[in-house]
Structure 1
Amino acid sequence: MTDKAVSEGQNVRINGTAKTDKSALTRGSSTRTLPEICFELQAKIDAFLCEETEDDVLRSVQRQVKVSMGVIQEALRRYGLDHLSLSYNGGKDCLVLLVLILACLPRCASHSPPPPSDAAAAHPPAAAAPEPPLSSSTSAASDRPLQAIYIVSPHPFPEVGDFVARSAERYRLDLKRYALPMRPALEAYLEDRPAIKAIFLGTRRTDPHGEFLTYFDPTDKGWPQFMRVHPVIDWHYVEIWAFIRHLQIPFCDLYNRGFTSLGGVTDTRPNPALAVGGDTSKFRPAYELRDDEEERLGRD
């Protein structure tokens, strides 16, 4: 069960708000190979890490990127690409994680070890900085797409489904789509993809049940068994948006309309903390919110 995807282009910013350039949705992206995409993202992140900035948030993002890429590289070392997947729903956090994973692939394409024992895999790695940049002449990114699972909300926003489809094509994801509750969706996915041993998640510390998570956590008893990998667990809300906007990563348009956390149409609304002058019909974009604790005020 996979989404039929269409291409996605860059967003054009008008007065600080990202507007979709419809003509860019198919322009060029269908002709780029996955290695080209990975090298482009690697170069973009390498350049960002080398930037000198007086902005405290961007400096913090640079530190977070180094830590997260260290976790991703450790997961790739332990499991290899064939045994890894990404939980992807088009939201801001897993979008950041997707970009970071793809940027790591050129350096890690040659690492495909057999999966370790659960006991060995349960220990989180030391937070490591990425290795020095490698050119395309000395490192070849794999043309194997990143495996991913999309668990569809019972009452999905059409905008979210459209963005997932477009971004899956843009980043060449091998995406499996399940319109099931989370546990049976994961059971079905592991039945379809029995080689999967670990799944990257965009969970952050302030998310429900995120408080005590580490970089690597086995699933709880009674759930389908795999290793949960949380590279962005310690990112703050403003850091997520600083990364997306500074690197000009296209994102779901619902965020421009005041949504700060994407669920379904029956349990999600624009964040009241972003209402313009108390008018509940007008909202500022999601990236103008500053407080982690207010992120989920639009979720029931």
Structure 2
Amino acid sequence: MTFNNICRHNGARISGIAKTDRDTQTHRALPRTLPDICFELQAKIDAFLSEQTDDNVLRKVQSQVRVSMDVTREALRRYGPDHLSLSYNGGKDCLVLLVLILACLPACASQPTTPNSDVAATNHGAHPTIEPPVSPNMAAPGRPLQAIYIVSPHPFAEVEDFVERSAEQYHLDLKRYSLPMRPALEAYLEDRPAVKAIFLGTRRTDPHGEFLSHFDPTDEGWPQIMRVHPVIDWHYVEIWAFIRHLQIPFCDLYNQGFTSLGGVTDTRPNPALAVGGDAPKFRPAYELKDDDEERLGRD
């Protein structure tokens, strides 16, 4: 099965989520290895970057992908996968980041890691050049990508289900913590002391994201680790253009009008997507256009 077929079986697509054994008894997907997934994602993104398009949003997404993959490769060169982790909660932004990281792993597997020196000097827009595509005969990715899932105090069942299934699909080495963010990070670094940097799907329009750069150490009073923000400058519409153009399975709550996922007590469908009167229905998240309206459904 190719990566394209993850998103559809016999041409059918279910709420943005791939059909699995839970959904059908007539189709059973063969298990796919991590190297298979990484090489296919790499080829898929290479093909996307080679597309000639008149769509202004897709052209911007192509530019964003190039920058983000530069940042990701730089982090992989500096630290190596054994010392990197991903903050993953099944949301759209970290989902895009996950796909980009996995697409970079084949090249990383074929290169030595650069000693970690003066990491903070890579801030403020300095990016390495993009490397040429890697062919499948190069070294395959090794261990699964490490990841941390900080669970909301009142998680959506749909989010829990999507995190579980996508972590299995992408072979994530995922550890989950039902703690506030700081003690969760402290506990994770105690469990995984080799981790020196964490990929985050933070974007500039997120709370506390305005002044972040691609590489930022944690603030004083927090566990000391490097935060890596490859998608910091992406806009909301670009995130969704990437997900939909590359047909990446996503959490079904986004089809129900949720645009930013928290917990059941502080998150509701975005009122900017409401259609109707007293009992409104909601358009899907990818129909929202304005960055400033993304968090209108969050308390």
Given the two structures, how large is their TM-score scaled by the length of structure 1? 0.91
What are the equivalent positions in structure 2 for 1:181-200 lying under 5 Å apart? Answer: 181-200=180-199
Counterparts of 1:43 and 1:116 in 2: how far apart (Å)? 29
Aligned residues: 291
Counterparts of 1:30 and 1:190 in 2: how far apart (Å)? 34
Q: Which of these residues, 6, 10, 18, is aligned with residue 7 of structure 2? A: 10
Which residue number corresponds to residue 259 of structure 1?
258
Residue aligned with 2:280, SS: strand
Say if 2:105 is the partner of 1:108: no
Structure 1 pair 286/84, CA: closer, same or farther in 2 (3 Å)?
Answer: same
> Does the 8 A contact of 1:269 with 1:298 survive in 2?
yes
Counterparts of 2:295 and 2:257 in 1: how far apart (Å)? 12
Structure 1 pair 135/90, CA: closer, same or farther in 2 (3 Å)?
Answer: same
Counterparts of 2:218 and 2:161 in 1: how far apart (Å)? 30
Residue aligned with 2:122, SS: coil
Counterparts of 1:248 and 1:130 in 2: how far apart (Å)? 24
Residue aligned with 1:18, SS: coil
Give the aligned residue type for 1:88. Y
> Does the 8 A contact of 1:152 with 1:180 survive in 2?
yes
Residue aligned with 1:31, SS: coil
Give the aligned residue type for 1:10. C
Tell me the alpha carbon deviations over residues 55-89 of structure 1, each in whole angstroms, 9 at most, x when there is no partner: 00000000000000000000011111110000000
Give the aligned residue type for 1:55. D
What are the equivalent positions in structure 2 for 1:60-79 lying under 5 Å apart? Answer: 60-79=60-79
Which residue number corresponds to residue 19 of structure 2?
21
Structure 1 pair 142/276, CA: closer, same or farther in 2 (3 Å)?
Answer: same
Shift of 1:175: 0.4
Residue aligned with 2:85, SS: strand
Residue aligned with 2:183, SS: helix
Residue aligned with 2:167, SS: helix
Structure 1 pair 244/164, CA: closer, same or farther in 2 (3 Å)?
Answer: same
Give the aligned residue type for 1:266. T
Shift of 1:21: 3.0
Say if 2:56 is the partner of 1:56: yes
Shift of 1:134: 1.7
Counterparts of 2:152 and 2:89 in 1: how far apart (Å)? 9
Shift of 1:110: 3.1
Structure 1 pair 77/153, CA: closer, same or farther in 2 (3 Å)?
Answer: same
Give the aligned residue type for 1:36. D
Tell me the alpha carbon deviations over residues 162-183 of structure 1, each in whole angstroms, 9 at most, x when there is no partner: 0000000100000001011100
Tell me the alpha carbon deviations over residues 157-201 of structure 1, each in whole angstroms, 9 at most, x when there is no partner: 010010000000100000001011100000000000000000000
Give the aligned residue type for 2:16. A
Between the aligned residues of both structures, percent identity stands at 75
Which residue number corresponds to residue 92 of structure 1?
92
Counterparts of 1:175 and 1:288 in 2: how far apart (Å)? 31
> Does the 8 A contact of 2:271 with 2:297 survive in 1?
yes
Say if 2:276 is the partner of 1:277: yes
Tell me the alpha carbon deviations over residues 243-294 of structure 1, each in whole angstroms, 9 at most, x when there is no partner: 0000000000000000000000000000000001345530000000000000
Residue aligned with 2:16, SS: strand
Structure 1 pair 109/19, CA: closer, same or farther in 2 (3 Å)?
Answer: closer
Counterparts of 1:84 and 1:279 in 2: how far apart (Å)? 48
Give the aligned residue type for 2:19. D
Which residue number corresponds to residue 156 of structure 1?
155
Structure 1 pair 11/256, CA: closer, same or farther in 2 (3 Å)?
Answer: farther
Given the two structures, how large is their TM-score scaled by the length of structure 2? 0.91
Shift of 1:127: 3.1
Structure 1 pair 122/21, CA: closer, same or farther in 2 (3 Å)?
Answer: same
Structure 1 pair 294/111, CA: closer, same or farther in 2 (3 Å)?
Answer: same
Structure 1 pair 108/279, CA: closer, same or farther in 2 (3 Å)?
Answer: farther
Structure 1 pair 30/89, CA: closer, same or farther in 2 (3 Å)?
Answer: farther
Give the aligned residue type for 2:272. A
Which residue number corresponds to residue 240 of structure 1?
239
Counterparts of 2:14 and 2:75 in 1: how far apart (Å)? 36
Residue aligned with 1:297, SS: coil
Give the aligned residue type for 1:259. F
Counterparts of 1:10 and 1:146 in 2: how far apart (Å)? 22
User: Mind listing any 5+ residue stretches in structure 2 that lack a counterpart?
Assistant: none
